[in-house]
Structure formats: structure tokens, C-alpha cells
Amino acid sequence: MRIITVVSGGDAPGINAALYHLALQAVRHGDTLLGALGGFPGLLNERIETLEQGALLPWIGLAGTYLQSSREPVLAQPAGRAQLAEVLARHQVDALVVFGGNGTLRHIPPLLAELGLVSIGLPTTIDNDVPGTEATLGFFSACDFAHRTIDGIRATGHALQGRIFTMETLGGDTGYLALEVAHSAGADVALIPEMSYDAAHVAARLKAGIEQRGQALMVYSEGLPGKQALLDALPVLAGIRIRDTRLGHAQRGSTPSHYDRWLAAQMARHALTSLHEGRRSGVICVEGGRIVVRDSLIGMPPRQPDLHLYNWINALPQGDT
Ligand code: F6P
């Protein structure tokens, strides 16, 4: 088979590892693996190269994507879709493997299916907000990056007692990343865009953290409504200066974790096996810790943050599960 890989939307740690594993699998299956440089716009402009395992190997431990990506919605218009079909026919492509997050994987595979094109989607985003899968490629690496930063913050927090630290994670308008990190770091407060909060309660939680262990930590997601007003109000409410850290895009560019490399290998293996079994459309998902291949994400309920976890971290009522 001639298979082309395309990365669409935000990059995520683990994509390069998945590309390497796709190249390995392609050799086993006797396939030719192609890559589109610069997402779907690059593909329409025929920026296409053959992907070889030797060239991809040095990239396996790096975040980002060797192929580069794009957020430009070039397939939204019929002309773009027609051009895509032409380009793929000209390059005798039998199937696409598409890396993407929530936006890409909800919209692109149905468009490709309408065009009669064979495709497999790989959920890749540090936000972990793709419906139908428990884990997306890149999420756990982004969590690890946050933990390394928190470890550093806590070291200085031990040296200089009595401080309140706040840390912003990426996550767009979702809070999975912030909630997961806050929980496993034992933060005093986790604030996410999906839930409202009370500034006085937040300040009281942070002050209690200082009394209990000499320092306090709040983790919040970048899309939190009113975040700047809250950061301005907290020193007044708590009577203590706030030290704020923002992870920014460095979090998205963090070193792929073991789990994400495992997931990359699994996704690659299942993607090519599915294509050789004759699957015409699918998305590689994780359910109960195992890989499942779904026909599509259509009808999958949007992911909801764990309300009980949120309440438990923030010591709010109904949080005792
Ligand atoms: O890809 C997901 C994500 O990293 C979000 O967490 C973040 O809000 C967004 O992308 C940032 O997008 P951009 O790189 O276009 O600024």
C-alpha cells in the first residue's frame, strides 16, 4: 500500500515516535510510507516526501513534528476537497493516517469518507479532550513537564517558606490537563474553565496550605475565565504575594514520556494492521487502558472533567469519592 501521513492542528509530544513506528511497520507490511509537510495545506501543495525509518530515528525523542503541521482549514471548502482527491490520485495514495486533536478528528475523517478516501485517525493533543478515548498522544508528556516544573517550584518553596505559588497549564478551553496535574501533584487548588469558583474559598485553601506545610500551590488551566482578576485579587484576599508560573508552549514541546512512546508504537501498529485488514475509516482510541479502533467519533459524548476529583482537590462538598 502507499500510505500518506498528515499532521493537522497542534503538535504533541510522541508524534515523531509514532512516525518512526509507522515507518517500521510499513517495512514489515511492504508498504511505502509518505509524509505531507505542513499539514493539509502542504499536502494540497504536494509537499510530499517518502518517510524512511533511518531518517526518522533521530527524531523519536523529540517533541513537535518532523512533518510540521497547520491549523488552516483548507478542506472546509469543496475546492480544497476536490484538490485533495486529485493530489492523492496523482501520487497513487491508497490511505491516509491523520494525526490530530478534537477539531481535526471530529471533522476530517467524515470528509475523507465522503470522498471515498481510506483513513485512520490518531488522536494527538496535550489537551486530552478527544471524545471516545481515555488518552491522547502527548497528554502524559505534558503532565510530566508540569511535574518537573512543580518540583522546581517546591524546592524554592521549601527554601523560602510561606509562599503561595500558582501555575498555569495549557489546555485551551478544557481543564483535563490542569486537573490531572493538580491531583497527582497534591495541589491545594485546581481551577478549570468548565467549573466556576469562589475567590475567597481559593484564598482560604491556599492560606491553609501554608499553615499545613509551609507553602501552597494552585494549578489552573489557561482558559480559566477571569484568571487575571483572580490572580490580582488573591494577594489581597490571602494577604500574601502570589508567585505565578506559566508553562506556555514549552509544555507542548516537552520530551515524550514512556507512556506516549508506548502509545505511539501501539497507534502505529494498529493503524497499519487495520488498513491491511481492509478497514476504510477508523480512529485509534484507548478504552480501559487497551487500544480499540472505532469506526468514527461521531456520536461519542464530549469528554467531561471529573467533577468528584475537582471537588475533592478543592475541598468542596460532594467530593468524597
Ligand atoms: O494543541 C492544543 C493547544 O496546545 C492548547 O492547549 C492551546 O490552548 C492551544 O493549542 C494553543 O494553540 P496555538 O499553538 O495555536 O497558540
pLDDT in tens, 19-39: 999 999 999 999 999 999 999
Q: Would you say the CATH fold of 140-252 matches that of 2-138+256-294?
A: yes
Centre of ligand 1 to C-alpha 172, Å, is: 6
Give the single-character DSSP code of 124.
B
Q: Which residues pair with 6 in a beta bridge?
A: 98
For residues 154 and 139, what is the distance between their CA atoms, to the nearest angstrom?
Answer: 23
pLDDT in tens, 130-170: 999 999 999 999 999 999 999 999 999 999 999 999 999 99
Distance 26 CA to ligand 1 centre (A): 31
- Residue 317: predicted pLDDT: 86
pLDDT tens digit sequence for 63-86: 999 999 999 999 999 999 999 999
Mean pLDDT of 84-105: 97
Residue in 109, 108, 111, 103 with CA at minimum distance from that of residue 130: 103
Catalogue the E-assigned strands of the chain.
2-7, 32-36, 48-50, 95-100, 119-123, 163-169, 189-191, 215-221, 242-246, 281-287, 290-294
Q: How far is the CA of 139 from the centre of ligand 1 (A)?
A: 13
The finding on whether 10 has its CB within 6 A of some atom of ligand 1 is: yes
pLDDT at 284: 98
Dist. CA 114–CA 107, nearest whole Å? 11
The minimum-distance atom of ligand 1 relative to the CA of 252 is: 4
User: Do residues 139 and 126 touch, judged by C-beta distance below 8 A?
Assistant: yes
Assess whether pLDDT exceeds 80 at residue 318: no
Nearest CA to ligand 1 atom 12: 10
pTM above 0.85, yes or no: yes
Is the pLDDT assigned to residue 319 strictly greater than 80? no
| 7, β-bridge pairs | 99
Ligand 1 within 6 A of 127 CB? yes
Residues with a catalytic annotation lie at 127
For domain 140-252, give the fold. Answer: Rossmann fold (3.40.50)
Yes or no: is domain 2-138+256-294 CATH 3.50.50.60?
Answer: no
Query: In terms of C-beta density within 10 A (0-12 exposed, 13-18 middle, 19 or more buried), how is residue 151 classed?
Result: exposed
Report strand pairing: 290-294 vs 281-287: antiparallel
Judge if the beta carbon of residue 126 lies within 6 A of ligand 1: yes
- In whole angstroms, give the CA distance from residue 264 to residue 138: 9
Cell numbers of 226, please?
Answer: 477571569
End-to-end CA distance of the chain: 50
Measured by CA distance, the residue closest to atom 13 of ligand 1 is: 10
Using the mean position of ligand 1's atoms as its centre, give its distance from the Cα of residue 94 in Å: 31
Domain ranges of the chain: 2-138+256-294, 140-252
**Quick one: pLDDT band at residue 321, thresholds 50, 70, 90?**
very low
Closest Cα to atom 15 of ligand 1: 10
252 CB near ligand 1 (under 6 Å): yes
pLDDT, tens only, 103-135? 999 999 999 999 999 999 999 999 999 999 999
Percent residues over pLDDT 90 in the chain: 98
Give the percent of the chain with pLDDT over 70. 99
Instruction: Please report the sign of the dihedral spanned by the C-alpha atoms of residue 100, residue 106, residue 109, residue 114.
Output: negative
Q: 126, 180, 220: which to mutate for ligand 1, most atoms within 8 A of CB?
A: 126
Confidence grade of residue 13 (pLDDT, cut at 50, 70, 90): very high
Determine whether the shortest distance from the Cβ of 100 to ligand 1 is under 6 A: no
pLDDT at 292: 98
Residue nearest atom 9 of ligand 1, based on CA coordinates: 172
Considering only CA atoms, which of 207, 178, 202 is closest in space to residue 189?
202
- C-alpha 100 to ligand 1 mean position (Å): 12
